[in-house]
Amino acid sequence: MKIIMKIEMKNGKLVVPDYPAIGYIRGDGVGEDIFPQAQKVFDAAVLKIYGQKKKIEWQKLLAGGEAFETCGEYLPKETLAHINENLIAIKGPLMTPVGESFRSINVTLRQKMDLYACVRPVEYFKGIKSPVKAPEKVDMTIFRENTEDIYAGIEFASETNESHNLLKFLEKELNVHSIRFPKTSALGIKPVSPEGSKRLVNAAFEYALKMNKKRVTFVHKGNIMKFTEGGFRNWAYEVAREYPTFTKLEYDEIKNERGSLQAENEKKAALKSGKIYVDDVIADNFLQQIILNPENFEVIATLNLNGDYISDALAAQVGGIGIAPGANINYKSGHAIFEATHGTAPDIAGKNIANPSSLILSGVMMFEYLGWQEVAELIKIALSFSFRNGNLTADLGGKLSTSKFSDVLIDFIKTY
Out of 28, 149, 308, 395, the active site residue is 308
Work out which of 344, 386, 391, 406 binds ligand NAI, going by CB under 6 A. Answer: 344
Q: How far apart (Å, rounded) are the C-alpha atoms in residues 64 and 66?
A: 6
Residue 126 among the catalytic residues: no
Question: In the β-sheet with 139-145, what is the strand arrangement from edge to edge?
Answer: 57-60, 21-25, 88-91, 336-340, 325-329, 117-123, 139-145, 299-302, 215-220, 276-282, 245-247
Residue 305 neighbours by CB distance under 10 Å: 18
CB nearer ligand NAI, residue 289 or residue 352 = 352
Q: How far apart (Å, rounded) are the C-alpha atoms in residues 53 and 289?
A: 46
Residue 308 among the catalytic residues: yes
Q: How far apart (Å, rounded) are the C-alpha atoms in residues 115 and 145?
A: 9
Judged by CB under 6 A, the stretch of 199-207, 278-286, 310-318, 335-343 that binds ligand NAI is 335-343
Residue 48 among the catalytic residues: no
Out of 48, 54, 221, 267, the active site residue is 221
Q: How far apart (Å, rounded) are the C-alpha atoms in residues 304 and 306?
A: 6
Work out which of 61, 354, 379, 413 binds ligand NAI, going by CB under 6 A. Answer: 354
Binding to ligand NAI by residue 208, rule CB under 6 A? Answer: no
Out of 43, 114, 139, 284, the active site residue is 284
Binding to ligand NAI by residue 76, rule CB under 6 A? Answer: no
Compute the C-alpha angle 81/87/88, nearest 5°: 110
CB nearer ligand NAI, residue 100 or residue 195 = 100
Are 301 and 236 a contacting pair, CB within 8 Å?
A: yes
Binding to ligand NAI by residue 403, rule CB under 6 A? Answer: no
CB nearer ligand NAI, residue 111 or residue 234 = 111
Q: How far apart (Å, rounded) are the C-alpha atoms in residues 374 and 359?
A: 18
Binding to ligand NAI by residue 144, rule CB under 6 A? Answer: no
CB nearer ligand NAI, residue 330 or residue 357 = 357
Return the amino acid letter for 111: Q
Residue 144 counted as an annotated binding residue: yes
Work out which of 148, 229, 280, 395 binds ligand NAI, going by CB under 6 A. Answer: 395
The per-residue DSSP string of 82-144 comes to HHHHH-EEEE---PPPTT-SSS-HHHHHHHHTT--EEEEEEE--TT---SSS-GGG-EEEEEE
Residue 65 Cβ vs ligand NAI, minimum distance, rounded to whole Å: 9
CB nearer ligand NAI, residue 194 or residue 343 = 343
What pairing do the DSSP bridges indicate for beta strands 139-145 and 299-302? parallel
Q: How far apart (Å, rounded) are the C-alpha atoms in residues 197 and 231?
A: 9
CB nearer ligand NAI, residue 124 or residue 251 = 124
Residue 284 among the catalytic residues: yes
Residue 120 counted as an annotated binding residue: yes
Long-range contacts of 108-111 (CB under 8 A, 24+ apart): 108/75, 109/63, 109/75, 109/80, 109/83, 109/328, 109/337, 110/146, 110/147, 110/328, 110/337, 111/147
Binding to ligand NAI by residue 203, rule CB under 6 A? Answer: no
Q: How far apart (Å, rounded) are the C-alpha atoms in residues 412 and 416?
A: 6
CB nearer ligand NAI, residue 32 or residue 145 = 32
Work out which of 44, 345, 392, 408 binds ligand NAI, going by CB under 6 A. Answer: 345
| Binding residues for ligand NAI restricted to 289-328, rule: CB under 6 A | 321-322
Judged by CB under 6 A, the stretch of 92-100, 130-138, 170-178, 251-259 that binds ligand NAI is 92-100
For 213, half-sphere exposure in the C-beta direction (CA atoms, 13 angstrom radius) is: 24
Work out which of 69, 173, 257, 347 binds ligand NAI, going by CB under 6 A. Answer: 347
Binding to ligand NAI by residue 342, rule CB under 6 A? Answer: yes
Residue 110 counted as an annotated binding residue: yes
Out of 24, 116, 124, 151, the active site residue is 151
Q: How far apart (Å, rounded) are the C-alpha atoms in residues 120 and 219?
A: 15
Residue 215 counted as an annotated binding residue: no
Residue 199 counted as an annotated binding residue: no
Are 279 and 116 a contacting pair, CB within 8 Å?
A: no
| Binding residues for ligand NAI restricted to 21-60, rule: CB under 6 A | 30
Q: How far apart (Å, rounded) are the C-alpha atoms in residues 313 and 164?
A: 37
Binding to ligand NAI by residue 355, rule CB under 6 A? Answer: yes
Q: How far apart (Å, rounded) are the C-alpha atoms in residues 360 and 77?
A: 27
Q: State the catalytic residues.
A: 151, 221, 284, 308
Residues that bind ligand NAI (CB under 6 A): 30, 93-96, 106, 321-322, 339, 342-348, 354-355, 358, 395
Residue ranges of the binding site: 104, 106, 110, 120, 144, 308, 355
Instruction: Give the residue ranges of the annotated binding site for D-threo-isocitrate.
Output: 104, 106, 110, 120, 144
